[in-house]
């Protein structure tokens, strides 16, 4: 019975890179992880042990380092575009390149109220993300962030939900709301200022999370998404993933103590996961 490959691709993953740029005594740092995936005419390597068209994954790794030296890494989006364009231009048998990047943000340490020239602190669990996918006709760039941990101690409730014979959850009009935001957004212009755009999106997400009178995670997620679209004309759509990371009120009655929303147990699992993509409506 004949067989055929319905899809194949390969690449290099988890390539770690730190780039330091020095302008006099003032240094800047970019630290990222890159995955490169190639699609194209590689079927013979699978079916006929013919490696003549296989670009070694070690070459992909070396290319990332070389291009980081030759080009300014002003954003992971623009660097991803540089990588994708290189592989499409360099190899005629490559039909599509996908580059996935994650950046560790670093912040300058303040000394006596001023930013230090070459000392930095890490920004916790948060990462900046980008995916660049290019074929020979077009390129798509998606920007994002993940690991943005937020919490507010009031201004959140959850009630009026469907209840059946297995429901034990009590309605609440005042609860802790904690989540770790993952966001991805598409822009209509591949040449926008990606760093500035991410800063503006991040700030808007935080502002709405803090101030929104939340009836549910869904309710606040949608408010955050439309606020980003209403204030960032370059963004066509945004996807948000927001796990509901519960803080459970501790029952202290056995000790003769009241607990008016003061003592909680943070739980990691299980958790609710709330996701949605909100897009800008096409003008008619």
Neighbours of 205 (CB within 10 A): 23
**Is 57 an active-site residue?**
yes
Quick check: helix, strand or coil at residue 207? helix
**Is 279 an active-site residue?**
no
Catalytically annotated residue among 12, 86, 204, 212: 12
Catalytically annotated residue among 27, 33, 57, 219: 57
CA distance 236 to 225: 11
Nearest to 178 by CA among 201, 156, 145, 195: 156
Looking at residue 113, what DSSP letter applies? Answer: T
CA distance 130 to 78: 9
Place of tokens 């943000």: 105
**Is 7 an active-site residue?**
no
Catalytically annotated residue among 61, 86, 212, 246: 246
CA distance 139 to 16: 24
Residues recognised as catalytic = 12, 57, 246
């Amino acid at each position: 019975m004949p067989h055929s490959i319905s899809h194949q691709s390969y690449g290099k993953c988890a390539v770690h890179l730190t780039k330091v740029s020095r302008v006099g005594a003032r240094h800047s740092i970019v630290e990222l992880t890159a995955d490169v995936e190639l699609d194209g005419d590689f079927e013979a390597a699978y079916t006929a042990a013919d490696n003549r068209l296989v670009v070694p994954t070690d070459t992909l790794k070396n290319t990332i380092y070389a291009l980081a030296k030759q080009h300014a890494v002003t954003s992971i989006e623009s660097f991803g575009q540089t990588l994708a364009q290189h592989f499409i231009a360099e190899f005629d048998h490559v039909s599509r390149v996908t580059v996935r990047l994650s950046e560790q943000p670093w912040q300058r340490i303040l000394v006596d109220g001023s930013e230090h020239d070459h000392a930095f602190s890490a920004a916790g669990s948060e990462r900046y993300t980008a995916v660049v996918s290019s074929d020979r006709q077009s390129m798509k760039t998606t920007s994002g962030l993940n690991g943005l941990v937020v919490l507010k101690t009031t201004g959140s409730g959850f009630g009026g939900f469907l209840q059946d014979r297995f429901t034990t959850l009590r309605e609440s009009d005042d609860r802790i709301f904690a989540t770790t935001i993952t966001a991805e957004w598409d822009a209509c212009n591949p040449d926008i200022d990606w760093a500035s755009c991410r800063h503006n999106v991040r700030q808007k997400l935080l502002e709405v999370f803090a101030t929104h009178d939340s009836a549910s995670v869904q309710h606040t997620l949608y408010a955050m998404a439309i606020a980003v679209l209403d204030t960032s004309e370059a963004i066509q759509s945004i996807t948000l993933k927001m796990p509901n990371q519960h803080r459970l009120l501790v029952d202290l009655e056995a000790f003769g103590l009241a607990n008016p929303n003061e003592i909680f147990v943070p739980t990691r699992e299980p958790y609710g996961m709330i996701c949605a993509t909100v897009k800008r409506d096409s003008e008619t």
